[in-house]
Amino acid sequence: MNQWDFVIAAYGVSVPALGWLVLVSFNQMRRAEQAVDEMMRGRK
Amino acid sequence: MHAYANPARFLKIARPLTGLLGLVGGTMLILCVAYGVLFGPADYLQGETVRIMYIHVPAAWLGMAGWSGIAVASAMQLIWRHPLAGVAGRACALPGAVFAAICLATGSIWGRPTWGTWWEWDGRLTSMLVLFFLYLAYMALSRAEREADGETSGEGRMTAIFGLIGAINLPIIHYSVLWWRTLHQGQSISVMKGSSIDASMLWPLLGAAVGASLLFGAIVLMRMRAELADTKLEMRMRRLAAL
């Protein structure tokens, strides 16, 4: 097998995993903080 | 450190810092990895597969750094009862697990053309796999303890104790290549002895490691902010339910 195939496979695994981690963490933060903002607006 | 024990004060700093760390870290990681993969030289022995190093090594460092963060946060939680320590420890778990998994996966892919095998039960590989399982156990214990306590933050003593005990694995991972010489190569970068890696590979590697570390910091801050917001919501719900 071509050595580049292994390089591509390694980044093919890493990039989606990192992207998933960033997206999940960002969405959880945004959703939770939006809910708090709505709660605070409701109190006012 | 206790100055930041107040969640409001912490959030005031964490909000602008999250975007800054994410942006600078992400850009640095992408540029350094791209430079190493596309323009870095091939290794005289390992050929093109050495380019896997630019993600494998930072992932290994951060897999271990994540548990170091858990251990420090656990100690702060148990000794000083720092109110944000438990939140910080739990926030390190998922990114640490993902980086440990990336390290294991890329190491396995790198091992096939270099060693002729996807996996070998050598000291470094096995202790890294143990670290990954420790992360899974930590997250399961944390969730179980919080559900049992009915709280979303603050407590979690068992999880903190587990975080401290799990740190025993860190020196085992670090010294495994010295204690059991099998397939995994020894240390190439040492604080005391310097580096045996050529500068053309070393600088993109260090840049990728710094970028990945900043990105890790941003992810931890995102997860801490999410948990603090969830806690605030839950406390409000409880107060309403009590009325």
Query: Which pLDDT does position A43 carry in this prediction?
Result: 67
pLDDT band at residue B184 using 50, 70 and 90 as cut-offs: confident
Q: Which residues of A touch B109 (CB under 8 A)?
A: 6, 9-10, 13
The CA-based dihedral angle spanning residues B88, B91, B97, B102, taken in that order and rounded to the nearest 10 degrees: -110
**Residues A33, B225: C-beta atoms closer than 8 Å:** yes
Model confidence at A5, in pLDDT bands (50, 70, 90)?
very high
Among A3, A17, A28, the residue with its CB nearest the CB of B101 is A17
Give me chain B's average pLDDT, please.
90
User: pLDDT tens, B36-56?
Assistant: 999 999 888 888 999 999 999
Q: What is the DSSP string of B1-37?
A: -GGG-SHHHHHHHHHHHHHHHHHHHHHHHHHHHHHHH
User: Which of A39, A29, A41 shows the shortest CA–CA distance to B11?
Assistant: A29
pLDDT at B33: 97
- Residue B198 pLDDT class (50, 70, 90 cuts): confident
Nearest CA distance, B180 vs chain A (angstrom): 26
Encode B40-57: b = buried (16+ Cβ within 10 Å), e = exposed. Answer: beebeebebbbbbbbbbb
**And the tokens for B62?**
């951060």
* Interface A:B, Cβ pairs < 8 A: 89
**For the segment B115-149, what is each residue's pLDDT rounded down to a tens digit?**
899 998 989 999 999 999 999 999 999 999 888 86
Pick the range with the lowest mean pLDDT from B3-17, B93-107, B155-169: B3-17
Query: At residue B15, does pLDDT exceed 80?
Result: yes
Which residues in B lie closer than 8 A to residue A11 (C-beta atoms)?
Answer: 33, 37, 52, 55
- What does the pLDDT look like over A8-43, one tens digit per residue? 999 999 999 999 999 999 999 999 999 998 888 876
| ipTM of the complex as predicted | 0.93
Which pLDDT value is given to residue A44? 61
- Quickly state the pLDDT bin for B3 (edges 50, 70, 90): low
* Residue B61 predicted with pLDDT over 90: yes
Distance from C-alpha of B150 to C-alpha of B192, rounded to nearest angstrom: 48
The SS3 assignment for B196 reads coil
Instruction: Compare CB distances from B113 to A3, A25, A26 and report the shortest one's residue.
Output: A3
B179 exposed, middle or buried (CB, 10 Å; 0-12, 13-18, 19+)? Answer: exposed
Q: Three-class SS string for B47-94? A: EHHHHHHHHHHHHHHHHHHHHHHHHHHHHHHHHCCCCCHHHHHHHHHH
Cβ atoms of B55 and A10 within 8 Å: the answer is yes
Q: State the pLDDT confidence band at B70, using cuts at 50, 70 and 90.
A: very high
Helices and strands in chain B, H and E counts: 7, 2
Which pLDDT score, from 0 to 100, does residue B2 have? Answer: 61
Q: How confident is the model at residue B181 (pLDDT cuts 50, 70, 90)?
A: confident
Give the 3-state secondary structure of residue B194.
strand
Q: Which percentage of chain B shows pLDDT scores above 90? A: 66
